Structure 1
Amino acid sequence: MTMTDRTRGTASPAGRGGPGRRLRLVLLACCLGQFMNVLDASVVNVALPVIARDLGFDEHNLQLVNNAYTVTVCGFLLLGGRLADLFGQRRVFLLGVGLFTLASVVGGAADAPLTLVLARAFQGLGAAVMAPATLTVLGTTFTEPAARAKAFGWWSAVSGAAGAAGVLVGGVIVQWFSWRWIFLVNAPVGLMLFATVRWVVPETRPRRTGDGRGLDLPGAVTVTLGLMAAVYGVAESHVHGWGSARVLGPLLGGVVLLAAFLVIQARFAANPLVPLGVFRNRSVAAANLVAFFGIAALFSTFYFFTLVLQQVLHYSPLRTGLSYLPLSLGIALGGWGVARLVPRTGPRPILTTGLALAGAALLWLSAVDADSGYAGEVLGPATLLGFGMGAVLNATTNAATAGLPAHQAGLASGLLNTTRQLGSAVGLVTLAALSAARIDTRTAEGTGRTDALASGYGLALAGAAVFAVAGLVAALFVPVRRRSSPSRAGGEKVAA
């Protein structure tokens, strides 16, 4: 395992305990950073009713606790990924950890709705800076194909499992402690992560900003504001409806800003934030499509699976969290288990197999009703879904960063994370609308409340299966691996 040329000649802690130990600590730091990011996107859900009561949120404003985080993360991810390329991966990683930890402390101590919402927004900003930095560090540290695939495998397994584990963690904290510890627990973890990053993560040589290679400010402003506006409009649709000015206004503004961003990148930016030529890399383009549909399926499932367990099967918050363990373990095992296969087979067969398993599992879960038992109707599909999506998360990360030069590692990471955030937002809103319409129809027909909910949530899970199939189709465009050899960019040779 070697460092890339970008890290040679910079301060490196390789001698502090040997390179093998240092590499393990680098992997641990990246996985822990991503775990914090993903966990915080889901852990709050179980605590929302208690937060609303304690801080005096009304029903309309409560969704801002989640949306403030999601909108900010999505808006700043591309910019966050580019910062690691321009200013050095370690200092940007540290910036993200510091912002996230400080905002978590403020959120845990919040005594008013506005304070908590602002804290969540700054948490999102920290996550948007930290998340692409974790992938950038892995891509520039683990350059041998087998080691790189293994590192991405662990990162993907942790990333997927954290989303499912958030429900369990949230349930335990709400039932046994205070909701404030959902945020305050990040303080000691963040301090430990900050120290670890400072000690073991090598710094890359920043790209000079005075030679025409600086940050594309017009592009950064338009894409950040455009993504934030679009995601905000999508997030507001389930409250105000698609025809509302509070939805159409941000959506239209977001489309205009994103169109302006593309024009700037194509015609005016001397050194664009997103060189559009990156999408000529078929592996990158197809992998981002897979990420969009795959995450639309997976993170929508987290939401509706929780509702099925609590409102159809009538599980307590703690039992609901425990019921997620097979899904979490499946994701971890799936991501870790395929790590050795990706360098040999390439990502495409892993992606197609994993998405096929996930689609089948989601169709199986969509049949759960009030008479279903956990062992017979829930355990099997939850485990199968976890294993399939764990494999997909690993292979998608590998494909999305394949064949790119080292100085575009942050760009690829930011693109992938932005695509995932968009997929989670669009997927959840779309399926929530379908589910609500089905529930209303069944209720109007005189169906009992529990059966109506089971029907609506089942339709949403079937819709998630459709997203998985769409991802499978996109995976067919990922190039087939011809052979693999080490190189600065990861050494992946592919063929159509």
Structure 2
Amino acid sequence: MAQPDHQAQSPATASAVIAVDDNIPTTATVPTPEKHDIYALRKYLRPLMLYVVSAAQFLDIVNGASVSVAIIPIAQDLQFSVPLLPWILNAYTIAFAGLLLFSGRMGDMFGHRVILIFGLFWFATWALVVSFSTSPIMFIIARALQGAGAACTVPTAMALIATNYPPGVERTKAFSVFAAFGGLGAVTGIMMAGGLIATVGWRWIFRVSSIAAYVLVALAFVVVPIVPKKEGVAKPRVDYLGAAASTLGVTGVVYYIIMGNEDGWASPKTLPILAVGILLLIAFGYIESKIEYPIMPFRVWKSRRFTTSVIAAFILMGMMQGFIFYVNMIFQEVYQWSAIKTALGFLVHALLAIIVFTILGKTMHRLPLKPLILAGFVLRCAAALMFAFVTPETSYWRLPFPGLILHVFGVGFSMLPTQITAVRDAENKDQGLVGAIYNTGLQLGAPFGLAILNTVAISTNGQQGGAGAGVRGGPELMAGYKNALFGIVAFGVFGFILSAIILPWDRPARAPKPVTDKNQDPESQKDETTIEAFGDKEEVRGEKEAELAEVEAFALDADLAGIPSALSEDAGDDSTIASRNEKA
């Protein structure tokens, strides 16, 4: 059948001219919402996509935090031996961190939607298996496999946001929602675990997670857009050797960080594994520099924003993991609170996080990012200092309550801008990889930070005062907790200095504004744009073209996939799509 003339097409069909090479254009006809019900359905359900992918991250964080509260009842019920106790947490963490890079890249190559849905289904299935565990070995294996599923969800969730929301206000608002879900996760996990353990038992922590994940699988099938394959594009080739080297290398390093605190940093049980992990990562770097289809192209590290954001995420997550853990220990050990009362103590943190991230989502696009990140480090240091001076006689309202408030603002000011800067310079084809590297930084930072802080606490209190204690030691343990909280402050000072020196001064990418020039005619003025930014004029000029190209490329990609622009009332209008394609 002959292809209809491009100019004569009705508004009911959107067309786009794609340059296959420099001389041969082809026209692709794309169905619009009115012609195909599935696109119309996705137009109205599109806002749900953001909440589905955000809930995937939320579920992972809730699961990790809730299990940390349930260590003692799990160990008692399944009769864990002392050497196996750390694996209640570590099996999940090691599998998750080790597979992040591989799963993120698979999303870039084979579709983020497919990897997300598979990861959620895998996570849900093994969470259910965990809930029926009858032995420590069954629990550990199922937890590791559950962590593998989570590794498929978090980087692809970030990539789906970055590829479905254009740069500027829309993407900033979307990432603010995503970060808000993450900020709520840790505290929600603690509160949920406290309630479930006190009522129906620890097994329901995993059953609730499983049910929620299965619901997300069903929703993701409907609301996450299907991006059609582009004709003429070669089938992606997988760098299996690099994938194996990176997965095993990261796993070895994470294992050493986690287990080194238990078995000793120079122990023959851990040191050889670290050595093998480092050698594998060196081999991974060599493989990636030689292969034509690398799993981690080195081009992503050329962005100063991205590199600094990954390092900052590593530090920030170490601070957060340590803060939540030692505040929890202060409530239960120093104040001698029950699990339920401890959960209520964190309630202000959870409720205020909703407000803080909502406000940031509406205002972030007007604010410079670097000062926010620096302010976040300062606030989180102040929160740690407040808890460092808590005594058994200190009123909750005097230091813990304002400390939790400061920490919420610190998390919002630091984590959300860091997340935005991490993905800002990445191309769409690398968004899954960038999200995976960023989350690998988070996953490495959490156990590393807690391991260092736990060493500080143990050196003060003795073996009963560390993260793996599981024994009520009473208020006398506060001395070690105090020094660990000072360690959090030291992390924050280091992160502040690093970000102040290296991180560029700029705003999130914003929608371009027309330049007014009296010497230009109105038509030519429409094509001139400027971007508000902080920094050198040359850097701003260089970024302007890149950001405009990114916006235009995003609009064209969205049209080709039949995806209306998010958070936009007229995004799905035929006239808008047709107009864009005529320009293309």
Structure-2-length-normalised TM-score? 0.78
Q: CA deviation at 1:449?
A: 5.8
Cα distance in 1 for partners of 2:480, 2:81 equals 25
Q: CA deviation at 1:372?
A: 1.3
Cα distance in 2 for partners of 1:442, 1:483 equals 46
Amino acid at match of 1:414: A
Given candidates 466, 477, 480, the residue that maps to 2:505 is: 480
Aligned partner of 1:250 in structure 2 is 273
Cα distance in 2 for partners of 1:18, 1:256 equals 47
Aligned partner of 1:78 in structure 2 is 101
Report 1:383-394 matches (<5 A). 383-394=405-416
Cα distance in 1 for partners of 2:200, 2:32 equals 43
Report 1:263-342 matches (<5 A). 263-266=286-289, 268-342=290-364
CA, structure 1 residues 465+5, in 2 after alignment: closer, same or farther (shift >3 Å)? farther
Cα distance in 2 for partners of 1:5, 1:381 equals 56
CA, structure 1 residues 463+199, in 2 after alignment: closer, same or farther (shift >3 Å)? same
Cα distance in 2 for partners of 1:317, 1:391 equals 29
- Per the alignment, in what secondary structure is the counterpart of residue 391 of structure 2? coil
Report 1:364-375 matches (<5 A). 364-375=386-397
Report 1:86-485 matches (<5 A). 86-205=109-228, 211=234, 213-266=236-289, 268-440=290-462, 450-476=474-500, 477-481=502-506, 484-485=509-510
- Per the alignment, in what secondary structure is the counterpart of residue 375 of structure 1? coil
Counterpart contact for 1:145–1:492, Cα < 8 Å: no
Aligned partner of 1:44 in structure 2 is 67
Amino acid at match of 2:341: R
Q: CA deviation at 1:17?
A: 4.4
Q: CA deviation at 1:485?
A: 3.8
- Per the alignment, in what secondary structure is the counterpart of residue 121 of structure 2? helix
Q: CA deviation at 1:207?
A: 8.3
CA, structure 1 residues 18+132, in 2 after alignment: closer, same or farther (shift >3 Å)? closer
Q: CA deviation at 1:110?
A: 1.0
Counterpart contact for 1:365–1:381, Cα < 8 Å: yes
Q: Deviations over 1:174-199 (max 9, x none)?
A: 00111110101123212210111000
Q: Deviations over 1:75-119 (max 9, x none)?
A: 001111111100111111101001000001100111111111111
Cα distance in 2 for partners of 1:99, 1:316 equals 34
Cα distance in 2 for partners of 1:385, 1:319 equals 20
Counterpart contact for 2:365–2:510, Cα < 8 Å: no
Aligned partner of 2:517 in structure 1 is none
Cα distance in 2 for partners of 1:433, 1:207 equals 53
Cα distance in 1 for partners of 2:316, 2:410 equals 10
CA, structure 1 residues 396+207, in 2 after alignment: closer, same or farther (shift >3 Å)? farther
CA, structure 1 residues 94+126, in 2 after alignment: closer, same or farther (shift >3 Å)? same
Cα distance in 2 for partners of 1:362, 1:436 equals 18
Cα distance in 1 for partners of 2:261, 2:508 equals 47
Counterpart contact for 1:72–1:125, Cα < 8 Å: yes
> Percent same amino acid among aligned pairs?
27
CA, structure 1 residues 144+210, in 2 after alignment: closer, same or farther (shift >3 Å)? closer
Cα distance in 1 for partners of 2:231, 2:338 equals 55
Counterpart contact for 2:32–2:39, Cα < 8 Å: no
Aligned partner of 2:52 in structure 1 is 29
Comparing 179-188 with 422-431, which one deviates more in the overlay? 179-188
Q: CA deviation at 1:229?
A: 0.9
Look at both structures and tell me which one has the larger radius of gyration over its CA atoms: 2
Q: CA deviation at 1:32?
A: 1.1
CA, structure 1 residues 442+46, in 2 after alignment: closer, same or farther (shift >3 Å)? closer
Gaps of 5+ in 1: none
Q: Deviations over 1:134-177 (max 9, x none)?
A: 11111111114111111101111111210122111111110011
Comparing 333-342 with 173-182, which one deviates more in the overlay? 333-342
CA, structure 1 residues 194+346, in 2 after alignment: closer, same or farther (shift >3 Å)? same
Counterpart contact for 2:372–2:413, Cα < 8 Å: yes
CA, structure 1 residues 194+494, in 2 after alignment: closer, same or farther (shift >3 Å)? farther
Gaps of 5+ in 2: 1-15, 19-28, 466-471, 513-530, 537-584
Structure-1-length-normalised TM-score? 0.91
Q: CA deviation at 1:440?
A: 2.9
CA, structure 1 residues 241+29, in 2 after alignment: closer, same or farther (shift >3 Å)? same
Counterpart contact for 1:30–1:134, Cα < 8 Å: yes
CA, structure 1 residues 450+10, in 2 after alignment: closer, same or farther (shift >3 Å)? farther
Cα distance in 1 for partners of 2:232, 2:190 equals 43
Cα distance in 2 for partners of 1:5, 1:481 equals 34
Q: CA deviation at 1:467?
A: 1.4
